[in-house]
Amino acid sequence: MELKENIIKKYKNYMLLEKSLSPNSIDAYLTDLDKLSIFLRNENLTAENVTLDHLQQFIAQLYDIGINARSVARIISGIKSFYNFLVLDGYMQNDPTELLETPKIGLKLPTVLSLEEIENLFSVIDHSTKEGQRNRAILEVLYSCGLRVSELVYLKFSDLFFDEGFIKVEGKGSKQRLVPISHTAINEINKYLYFRNEMTVKKGSENVLFLSNRGTAISRIMIFYFIKQYAQMAGIKKEISPHTFRHSFATHLLEGGANIRAIQMMLGHEKITTTEIYTHMDREYLRQEIIEHHPRNNRK
């Protein structure tokens, strides 16, 4: 059995319908599977007769071409998912990935903006223009609600409950959650709506909150682009992205004394261990404060 088109199609449907993965996650899994397919073809192997030794050889080749441990771990996860599907669907009896070890990855703390950096970034936005006010509203929502950029671009008018102070968000696996929204973010959205009401909206996008100049939902790439632009204008040297605002949201809440379970719910994390990275960040922040400001550490 090779990685035939009909099997890949069934696997794609399995990820979509049974695992409820997002289109981006499915594309990532299939891209990783392409790497395995190339290896099998070069080694004259099929998916059915591959062994643990073969898979370890495949992983070694990934390292040889310079793929880092974090990416290798993701690829292994994708391969394990594929073979789990093959066993579940009766294509194979035994799973050769069962004993395949994932590389240990050191804790990498995400980039976080300070309150001052966030204010500096917001200050360079010209919100007298349609694009500027839209971008200001987008950044306020990212920061005040801790949304993923994929969640933000799909926000609809029907998801806004301003009187109650909440928005409804559809996260990974089509799971919905209610997230509090700040008065500042509500105010910026209302200012943006003044411009949006004058736009020509393409059919099918009438309920979409944040629009591009073409009258369709704004793309994630566009949000990445203007964040980079504003960061440069504000003199921020850190490498930031839309996700940086989500990290900053969680970190600032934790520093302010918020309960980690509450942060987990607002971020839409399925597991508390995912949220706990911010406790590491908080400890690292405290450590840096002590190193920089404690008199015992200021001696020459």
Write the pLDDT tens digit of every residue in 183-241.
999 999 999 999 999 999 999 999 999 999 999 999 999 999 999 999 999 999 998 98
Show me where the domains of the chain are located: 5-88, 115-292
- Rounding to the nearest 10 degrees, give the CA dihedral for residues 53, 98, 108, 225: 90
Q: Which of 43-57, 244-258, 263-277 has the lowest mean pLDDT?
A: 263-277
Mark residue 215 as left, alpha or beta (left: phi above 0; alpha: psi -120 to 50; beta: remaining): left
So which residues are the catalytic ones? Answer: 148, 172, 243, 246, 269, 278
Could you tell me which of 209, 114, 115, 99 has the C-alpha nearest to residue 154?
209
CATH architecture type of domain 115-292: Orthogonal Bundle (1.10)
Q: Supply the pLDDT for residue 184.
A: 92
Average pLDDT over residues 2-20: 80
Q: What is the mean pLDDT of the chain?
A: 84
Encode pLDDT of 137-161 as tens digits: 999 999 989 898 989 999 999 999 9
- pLDDT for 245 beyond 90: yes
Encode pLDDT of 73-132 as tens digits: 889 988 998 999 988 888 888 889 988 888 766 656 678 898 999 999 999 999 899 999
**How far is the C-alpha of 223 from the C-alpha of 246, rounded, in Å?**
14
Q: Supply the pLDDT for residue 210.
A: 96
CATH superfamily name and code, 5-88: Tyrosine recombinase, N-terminal domain (1.10.150.130)
